[in-house]
């Protein structure tokens, strides 16, 4: 998620002048020179300015390439100005400095000196916001505000500090039941062998249904799964005076890809910029940056890298009039045709050749029924305008996402799917399921949380280079669910038609 890049706050008058704080919300940088400071349009002599870093006050004039000031992401630098007061009201502050590696940056911000009203948010907080005390205070606060005594939400087995970076105002946990399915035999390039599948769900029959499908797959020799594509996106938009400049810009971007990539990749040791899809409309150029992101899902990684690239671009290209880091062409946490067509996260194909005797025996249905149903359901899918012509891949994906600490909101795009079935000349069933935009990680996000890490361990998906293994397992589980539900639906047809024929007896 994005944040303002630099924000100014805590504007106030001090005894000897005024002060405020600047927070770095961009990414790691080093200040190598303060160039100017203006308050409400007036230049302030830099000799009157000090920077507060930790406990010490540093004269602004001393910041230089030889005496740089580290200013990492989330760092706050206080700025003190002697001899000028601001008073109540809204004030504008313009700052220009030089940073490494981003060069000269200047920005203009406003802040207000106000009488603080009552806090809009009464939730207890503390400096160490993950301490036992403050968590207990929040739990009591709930009881006070709502009358609800917590007996379960407040029970968890791990050190809450572990959730730092995963949740703010930690107050307890949701305990989601895990049912065990499998083993499932997976013939992947990364996942090879039998896997026990922990499914976190509250939907009755889900585990049983997937388990039946796994039995079919196992008896068919296992499920073959392949990760066929892999990329994560951020899609800024550049706005011009007219379409003509946006078209020229597209060409410029193509010509400067190497430099753009180098700048983007300077912000990450893992991410690689693969290519940029540029789409033009009106006077806008949407650039969909595609990165590889290692074992991380990578949304934050590519956000930072894309912003760095865009900052560099903005330095080079005069014709840009406005810029947003995102404008719904990525498309994060949403189902979209661009994700289906151009991939987001992993593109995974699971396949199996299911002998007709296996299907008949385990699921009590013939391949022809499933195949016929798939054809009819394709028409239904077309009429409905749906992002998945299969049946319920979201069920298995969600249960595994919760169990393994994925960002579960990515079910939105991960729910897309393409089912394809075929009958062999021998009457066996070829069944495949393509997940075009599966967002998974084995590093970062919630993957290090306590139960989540254990579930990843059960799957053998921890450590460097394990993310494709996880993607393959998920693909296999999804196919199990499809074969199971497809069989159930098709056997309804079979029962029903008998009921129908039976009524005339």
**What's the sign of the alpha-carbon dihedral 380, 386, 390, 394?**
negative
Q: How far apart are CA 178 and CA 94, in angstroms?
A: 54
Q: Which residues pair with 81 in a beta bridge?
A: 18, 49
Tell me which residues in 221-260 interact with its own copies (CB under 8 A).
Answer: 224, 226, 228-229, 235, 237, 239, 242-244, 246-247, 250
12 binds its own copies (CB under 8 A): no
What are the phi and psi torsion angles at 453 (to 5°)? -65, -40
Segment interacting with its own copies, rule: CB under 8 A, options 15-23, 52-60, 202-210, 256-264: 202-210
Catalytic residue among 164, 251, 357, 498: 498
372 binds its own copies (CB under 8 A): yes
- In the list 259, 322, 424, 463, the residue contacting its own copies (rule: CB under 8 A) is 322
Q: 337: which residues sit within 8 A by CB, 6+ positions away?
A: none
Residue 121 falls in the annotated catalytic set: no
**Closer of 268 and 437 to its own copies (Cβ):** 437
- In the list 45, 47, 83, 104, the residue contacting its own copies (rule: CB under 8 A) is 104
Tell me which residues in 28-87 interact with its own copies (CB under 8 A).
Answer: 35-36
- Residues present in the chain in total: 505
C-alpha pair distances (Å), 279 with each of 177, 245, 282, 283: 44, 13, 10, 11
- In the list 24, 211, 263, 466, the residue contacting its own copies (rule: CB under 8 A) is 211
> 299 exposed, middle or buried (CB, 10 Å; 0-12, 13-18, 19+)?
buried
Q: Quote the least distance from Cβ 287 to its own copies, whole Å.
A: 11
Q: Quote the least distance from Cβ 57 to its own copies, whole Å.
A: 26
Q: Quote the least distance from Cβ 218 to its own copies, whole Å.
A: 5
Tell me which residues in 378-417 interact with its own copies (CB under 8 A).
Answer: 378-389, 391-395, 397-399, 402-403, 405, 407-412, 415-416
Q: How far apart are CA 268 and CA 265, in angstroms?
A: 5
377 binds its own copies (CB under 8 A): yes
- In the list 34, 50, 77, 201, the residue contacting its own copies (rule: CB under 8 A) is 201
Q: Give yes or no for a contact between 77 and 88, defined as CB atoms under 8 angstroms apart.
A: no
Q: Give yes or no for a contact between 237 and 286, defined as CB atoms under 8 angstroms apart.
A: yes
**Closer of 67 and 74 to its own copies (Cβ):** 74
Q: Quote the least distance from Cβ 39 to its own copies, whole Å.
A: 16
**Closer of 260 and 416 to its own copies (Cβ):** 416
Half-sphere exposure of 239 (CA within 13 A, CB side): 7
Segment interacting with its own copies, rule: CB under 8 A, options 11-19, 159-167, 264-272, 466-474: 159-167
Judged by CB under 8 A, how many residues of this single chain contact its own copies?
A: 204
- In the list 163, 267, 293, 437, the residue contacting its own copies (rule: CB under 8 A) is 163
Give the β-pairing of 284-292 and 272-281. antiparallel
Catalytic residue among 144, 168, 189, 203: 203
Tell me which residues in 139-158 interact with its own copies (CB under 8 A).
Answer: 141-142, 145-146, 148, 150-153, 155-158
**What's the sign of the alpha-carbon dihedral 449, 455, 460, 466?**
negative
Catalytic residue among 407, 428, 472, 482: 407
**Closer of 59 and 104 to its own copies (Cβ):** 104
Residue 407 falls in the annotated catalytic set: yes
- DSSP-derived letter for residue 327 is S
113 binds its own copies (CB under 8 A): no
- In the list 131, 280, 292, 356, the residue contacting its own copies (rule: CB under 8 A) is 280
341 binds its own copies (CB under 8 A): yes
Q: How far apart are CA 304 and CA 307, in angstroms?
A: 5
Residue 194 falls in the annotated catalytic set: no
430-469 burial, b at 16+ Cβ within 10 Å, e below that, comes to: ebbbbbbbbbbbbbbbbbbbebbbbbbebbbbbeeebbbb
355 binds its own copies (CB under 8 A): no
Q: Give yes or no for a contact between 209 and 485, defined as CB atoms under 8 angstroms apart.
A: yes
442 binds its own copies (CB under 8 A): no
Q: How far apart are CA 467 and CA 248, in angstroms?
A: 39
Q: 113: which residues sit within 8 A by CB, 6+ positions away?
A: 11, 12, 13, 86, 87, 88, 89, 91
177 binds its own copies (CB under 8 A): yes
**Closer of 57 and 409 to its own copies (Cβ):** 409
100 binds its own copies (CB under 8 A): no
Catalytic residues: 203, 407, 498
């Amino acid at each position: 998620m994005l944040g303002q890049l630099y924000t100014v706050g805590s504007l106030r008058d001090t005894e000897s002048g005024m002060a405020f704080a600047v927070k770095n919300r961009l990414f790691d940088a080093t200040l190598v020179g303060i160039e100017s400071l203006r308050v409400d349009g007036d230049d302030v002599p830099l000799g009157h300015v000090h920077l507060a870093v930790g406990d010490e006050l540093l004269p602004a004039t001393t910041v230089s390439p030889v005496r740089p000031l580290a200013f990492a992401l989330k760092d706050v630098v206080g700025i003190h100005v002697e001899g000028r007061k601001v008073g109540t009201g809204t004030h504008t502050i313009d700052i220009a400095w030089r940073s490494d590696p981003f060069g000269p940056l200047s920005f203009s911000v406003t802040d207000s000196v106000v009488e603080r009203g009552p806090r809009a948010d009464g939730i207890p907080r503390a400096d160490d916001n993950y301490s036992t005390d403050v968590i207990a205070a929040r739990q009591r606060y709930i009881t006070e505000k709502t009358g609800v005594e917590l007996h379960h939400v407040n029970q968890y087995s791990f050190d809450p500090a572990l959730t730092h970076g995963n949740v703010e105002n930690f107050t307890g946990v949701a305990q989601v039941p895990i049912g065990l399915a499998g083993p499932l035999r997976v013939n992947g390039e990364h996942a090879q062998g039998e896997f026990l599948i922990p499914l976190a769900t509250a939907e009755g029959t889900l585990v049983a249904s997937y388990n039946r499908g796994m039995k079919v797959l196992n008896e068919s020799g296992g499920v073959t799964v392949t990760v066929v594509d892999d990329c994560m996106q951020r899609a800024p938009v550049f706005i011009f005076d007219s379409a003509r400049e946006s078209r020229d810009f597209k060409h410029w971007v193509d010509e400067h890809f190497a430099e753009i990539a180098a700048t983007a990749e300077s912000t990450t040791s893992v991410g690689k910029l693969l290519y940029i899809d540029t789409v033009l409309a009106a006077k806008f150029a949407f650039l969909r940056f595609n990165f590889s992101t290692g074992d991380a899902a990578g949304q934050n990684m590519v956000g930072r890298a894309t912003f760095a690239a865009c900052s560099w671009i903005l330095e080079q290209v005069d014709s840009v009039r406005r810029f947003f880091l995102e404008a719904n062409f990525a498309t994060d946490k949403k189902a979209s045709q661009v994700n289906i067509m151009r991939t987001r996260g992993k593109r995974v194909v699971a396949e199996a050749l299911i002998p007709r005797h296996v299907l008949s025996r385990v699921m009590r249905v013939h391949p022809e029924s499933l195949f016929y149903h798939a054809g009819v359901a394709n028409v239904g899918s077309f009429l409905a305008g749906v992002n998945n012509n299969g049946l319920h891949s979201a069920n298995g994906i969600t249960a595994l996402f919760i169990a393994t600490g994925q960002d579960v909101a990515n079910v939105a795009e991960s729910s897309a799917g393409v089912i394809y079935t075929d009958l062999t000349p021998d009457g066996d069933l070829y069944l495949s399921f393509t997940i075009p935009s599966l967002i998974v990680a084995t590093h970062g996000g919630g993957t290090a949380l306590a139960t989540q890490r254990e579930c990843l361990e059960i799957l053998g998906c921890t450590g460097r280079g394990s993310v494709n293994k996880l993607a393959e397992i998920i693909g296999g589980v999804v196919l199990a669910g499809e074969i199971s539900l497809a069989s159930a639906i098709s056997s309804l047809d079979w029962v029903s038609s008998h009921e129908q024929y039976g009524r005339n007896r």
